[in-house]
Structures are given as C-alpha cells and as structure tokens.
C-alpha cells in the first residue's frame, strides 16, 4: 500500500522582522499562501527502517535530509516500530525562498501520520514541526495564514484571491541563515501587514497587492542584485506587484489576467532559465 502527499511551495505576501530574540531567532510577522507548484511524496510501509529515494540528485538521501529527520522525529516521539520508504518527487527549486524543504517536512508529517495510523491532529503535527524548521508549522496547515513568532504561531485566514503567480528563480541560490546572519533591523522597511490582511479577508486582490512587501529583500539583494532586475522587469511587463519570497532569491509577480501573466513569462524566459507560471491555491 502506498500513500501520496502533495507538498506545495509557499510565497510570502508580506514579511516584517520585528526584533532579534534571546534564543537567536528573529521575531517575525508574515502573511503566506501556498501555490500550486508542488513536490509529491510517496510513502510505503517498511518493517523498521526509514529509506529515501528521489528524482533529484541535488540533495542527500540520508539523515542529513529534512524528510529523513522529520520521519525519525515522528518515529521516536511516538515510539513507532514500523518504518517507511519515502520517494520525493522534487519540483520546487532548492534554496529558493519557496519553502520546498519545509513543505516536504510537513508532507512527511501528514503522510506518515496516515501511514502509521497515529491519528494526530494538524495542531499536534504543527507543534512537532516547530522542532524541524520555522516554516514547517505553516506548511502543515497548508492554507493562507498570518504567521508570527519565529514561524510557530499560525493563524489561518481567508484564502488569498485567485491569481496567476509568475515565479523567477535566479541561478544563484541563497541560504536562509546567511540573510539573517548580519541583519541590521534598524535598516529594514516595515510594511502594513494588518491592512493587507484586511484586504485578503475582504477578498480584494487590488487592495491586497498594494500592501505587499518583504523586509528581507534589502539584505538578500546584497547577495544577489539580480533580484531587483527581475522585479523591475516583472513590473514593466505588467505585474500588479513583484516581490522576493522568503529569504530569496526567487521573485514572484501576481496578476489576475492570464494574457498579462503569459506576457510576463515570455518577457522573462530569455532572462532567467527557471521561470514558472502557477496559480495561488
């Protein structure tokens, strides 16, 4: 018997950094939504061990892998005697700011919860996910949400209005920790996140995109100046907003007009190799 779980990518619609905490993490507030670019995980029962396989040659298939760590944590926490064979079909770019690893971890929690008949609630899975990574709790719930703390406080809200999402991943990836390492909070912009939340709750795409912003962009651009170029091109080609997602370097544009979305994609294809056209979920 095999089970499947989709692991959708996420985009940050609005992101503020409030302060550095005593535990070394940063206090954040974010609005995030899943999109329909997704990895797909397949789970099959094994007697005891955890075994990984994948279509991607870019990640380790042992205890260094976030999926392996997640499976082992769930197994140890609930003293599961069974094992699992997990196949990771990777479609989300790695080190892109799209939460691919976190979403894979969340899909692992949901998939193994079913495979091993643990009957845990999403709240219980999200609490376990905190130990794996800051974006994992959001990815467990897998819906538009206001997220605070270091990522562990997730408040689902109305879905983001239906829109086309144009994603452009510049060639050079960015590791999250490098963006936070030298962060000077006094230099960061702050965005009207509550105004954006109200616009989403009121199903207003036009109002929501006015408040889009990512405080980490300033820092990420120092590592990858291409981010600004991609943003400028997206806006020039007609995107209603263009923004870096997470810690970058992926930039996304939003529009509700399919022809405009196609025009933006065509305009950017020659500029960057990795260009995707997807929908909000």
| Residues marked as catalytic | 10, 135
Angle at Cα 185 formed by Cα 243 and Cα 172, nearest 5°?
45
User: CA 24 to CA 234: how far, in whole Å?
Assistant: 35
CB count within 10 Å of CB 159 equals 14
**What tokens were used for 133?**
């990574």
Residues 6+ apart with CB under 8 A from 6: 38, 39, 40, 41, 107
Helix 122-129 to helix 66-77 angle (10° resolution) is 120
Q: Are 179 and 222 in contact (CB under 8 A)?
A: no
């Amino acid at each position: 018997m095999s089970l499947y779980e989709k692991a959708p990518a996420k985009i940050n619609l609005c992101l503020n950094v409030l302060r550095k905490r005593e535990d070394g993490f940063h206090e954040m507030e974010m609005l995030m939504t899943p999109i329909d670019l997704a990895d797909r995980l397949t789970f099959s029962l094994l007697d005891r061990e955890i075994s990984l396989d994948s279509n991607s040659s870019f990640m380790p298939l042992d205890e260094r892998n976030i999926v392996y760590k997640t499976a082992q944590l769930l197994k140890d926490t609930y003293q599961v005697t069974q094992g699992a064979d997990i196949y990771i079909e990777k479609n989300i770019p790695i080190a892109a700011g799209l939460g691919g690893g976190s979403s894979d971890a969340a899909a692992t929690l949901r998939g193994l919860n079913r495979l091993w008949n643990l009957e845990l609630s999403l709240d219980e899975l999200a609490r376990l996910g905190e130990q794996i990574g800051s974006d994992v709790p959001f990815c467990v719930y897998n819906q538009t949400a206001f997220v605070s703390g270091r990522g562990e406080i997730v408040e689902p809200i109305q879905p983001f209005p239906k829109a086309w999402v144009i994603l452009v991943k510049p060639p050079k990836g960015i590791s999250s920790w490098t963006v936070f390492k030298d962060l000077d909070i006094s230099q960061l912009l702050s965005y009207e996140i509550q105004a954006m939340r109200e616009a989403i709750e009121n199903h207003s795409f036009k109002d929501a995109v006015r408040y889009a912003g990512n405080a980490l962009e300033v820092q990420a651009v120092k590592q990858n100046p291409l981010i600004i170029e991609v943003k400028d091109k997206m806006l020039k080609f007609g995107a209603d907003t263009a923004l870096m997602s997470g810690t970058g370097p992926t930039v996304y544009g939003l529009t509700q007009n399919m022809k405009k979305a196609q025009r933006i994609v065509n305009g950017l294809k020659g500029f960057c190799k990795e260009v995707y056209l997807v929908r909000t979920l």
